[in-house]
Amino acid sequence: MTAPLQTDPQRVGEVLYLALRDRILSGELKPGAKLSVPALAEEFGVSRSPVRDAVIRLVQEDLVTETMNRGAEVARITREELVSLYEAREVLEGAVARLATEKYQASLRRTLLALLTEHREVAAQQDFGRHIELDAAFHRAIRQAAQSPVLARMLDGVQGRVLVAMRSTSLTGGMVQAVHEHQAIFEAIGSGDADAAEEAARAHIRRLKELLRAAD
Amino acid sequence: MTAPLQTDPQRVGEVLYLALRDRILSGELKPGAKLSVPALAEEFGVSRSPVRDAVIRLVQEDLVTETMNRGAEVARITREELVSLYEAREVLEGAVARLATEKYQASLRRTLLALLTEHREVAAQQDFGRHIELDAAFHRAIRQAAQSPVLARMLDGVQGRVLVAMRSTSLTGGMVQAVHEHQAIFEAIGSGDADAAEEAARAHIRRLKELLRAAD
DNA sequence: TCGTTCCGATCTGCATGCAGTGTTGAACGC
DNA sequence: GCGTTCAACACTGCATGCAGATCGGAACGA
């Protein structure tokens, strides 16, 4: 779902980490699902050690929660925490939009333009699954252009947990409006106005946050 | 150094994680120092398993870096990455200042006032060590008042890595000016103006970031 | 029917075994 | 003296052993 970002996984533990992470983000493992280390070890045909390593990493990432002597399960993210995640996402997306504006290159313009064009059609056709993908791709393109590994990693983490939370709390934020807001972000970045780009990105996330707040 | 934030550590692996993290943040383990799992296991009188667990968690936190078949060492944080950390810190401190303003309570006012009073004296006496502590305490008080576990955890992570980076790159940002900027943040929060509080906090971190950029 | 008790299966968390790999430093040739 | 070779050592990464804890469910009694 999200980019690997890790070094090539020659370690079994790393492969398992990526595999389990993907299962969680894709919804194959839903919030509350138990992660049995022996069962996973047998399924993947490895010993318990690398499985344990992978689980620890997921716990440290807050995608999985652990209780003493009671094993691990996919994190159950509350509505309250989801809002808190969006508070973080608002400022982080604002920051990468600013940086992308300052480091603006023509390739970013082409990428965003292509995404927007397709997104407009998809929104008109009410293709929700493709909308999710294009929305993620749009934001990913901007945070890659920002060239800030620190911010990119944080946003990856936030995005992952948001995806998990959305498994419990489905919420459609209005595809057409999302496209309009993306258009505004695109124009602000293209105009070179970093302040405007930051504010446009923040406003976009802020609206989604308020939607979450309202839907209780 | 920073608050535990974890559940009570009844697991050996958790104790080791906290112990190693403290050694890194306190500077006892400097950037580039090797973390030998067998050696640490013997030192703490435990087996290699919980040590391995602790190291994995530190790697996932980017406090430690690992190379295939070559062990782990305390992360060497580059100047470039330090600037990137401050880019993140700028917007995150802004966000918690805003939230602290919106959730403002009298206890926060008392806490910040006490810290500022002592900080003024300490700055006048050029007590650098105490300055560092008071600076951290000031920001910690605000982020606790913001009541956002997500933002607090991110800032903890950023702060930890900044501390590690500072072991290589000592940089005094001007104690008296820091106190002045803290005063401005305090007043903005007290006035209930969330916009002003966010901007004051951002300006404070932004100045430190520019200092880092300049010192190359 | 419903609640309690107890036992077995299963899992967690730590300890340990082991093959493959990287490192180091001494012996050697030039 | 200086670079090369190679062998012993040390460590990583995965596999496995094991004690204690937890969970589930059958047997039992009210």
Tens-binned pLDDT, residue by residue, of chain A (216 aa): 433 334 466 899 999 999 999 999 999 999 999 999 999 999 999 999 999 999 999 999 999 999 999 999 999 999 889 999 999 999 999 999 999 999 988 999 999 999 999 999 999 998 888 988 899 999 999 999 999 999 999 999 999 999 998 876 656 667 889 999 999 999 999 999 999 999 999 999 999 999 888 876
> Which of A 131-150 lie inside 8 A of B, CB atoms?
148-150
Per the structure, the count of domains in chain B is 2
Tokens encoding A174: 């209005």
Residue type (1 letter), B85: L
From the Cβ of A50, is strand D under 7 Å away? yes
B10 touches A: beta carbon within 8 Å: yes
CA–CA dist A35, A20 (Å, integer): 9
Based on the fold, state whether residues B68 and B117 are members of the same structural domain: no
pLDDT in the model for residue A5? 38
Based on the fold, state whether residues B51 and B149 are members of the same structural domain: no
Among all strands, which nt has the closest C1' to B51 (CA)? C14
CA-based radius of gyration for chain B: 19
**Whether the Cβ atoms of residue A146 and residue A90 lie closer than 8 Å to each other:** no
pLDDT in the model for residue A8? 60
Based on the fold, state whether residues A131 and A107 are members of the same structural domain: yes
pLDDT in the model for residue A173? 65
Nearest to A154 among B52, B60, B88 (CB): B88
Spatial neighbors of B8 by CB under 8 A, at least 6 apart, are none
Q: Do A92 and B88 touch (CB under 8 A)?
A: yes
Based on the fold, state whether residues B92 and B143 are members of the same structural domain: yes
Based on the fold, state whether residues A43 and A70 are members of the same structural domain: yes
pLDDT in the model for residue A132? 87
The count of other CB atoms within 10 Å of the CB of residue B118 is 14
* Digit-coded pLDDT (tens) for B16-46: 999 999 999 999 999 999 999 999 999 999 9
DSSP helix, strand, coil percent of chain A (3-state; round to 5):
70, 5, 25
Based on the fold, state whether residues A43 and A100 are members of the same structural domain: no
Chain A: give the shortest CA distance to residue B83, in Å: 9
| Domain CATH for B124 | 1.20.120.530
- Chain centroid offset of residue B156 CA: 5
Based on the fold, state whether residues A99 and A201 are members of the same structural domain: yes
| Domain CATH for A57 | 1.10.10.10
H-only helix segments in A1-105: 12-26, 37-44, 48-60, 79-102
CA–CA dist B195, B97 (Å, integer): 9
CA–CA dist A79, A10 (Å, integer): 37
Q: Do A150 and B11 touch (CB under 8 A)?
A: no
* Digit-coded pLDDT (tens) for B135-191: 999 999 999 999 999 999 999 999 999 999 887 665 666 788 999 999 999 999 999
Residue A202, domain member (yes or no): yes
Strand D nucleotides, any atom under 7 Å from protein beta carbons: they are: 10-17, 20-23
Range of the domain at B33: 12-74
The secondary structure element, H or E, covering residue B31 is: none
Based on the fold, state whether residues B53 and B160 are members of the same structural domain: no
Based on the fold, state whether residues A136 and A165 are members of the same structural domain: yes
Q: Do A92 and B91 touch (CB under 8 A)?
A: yes
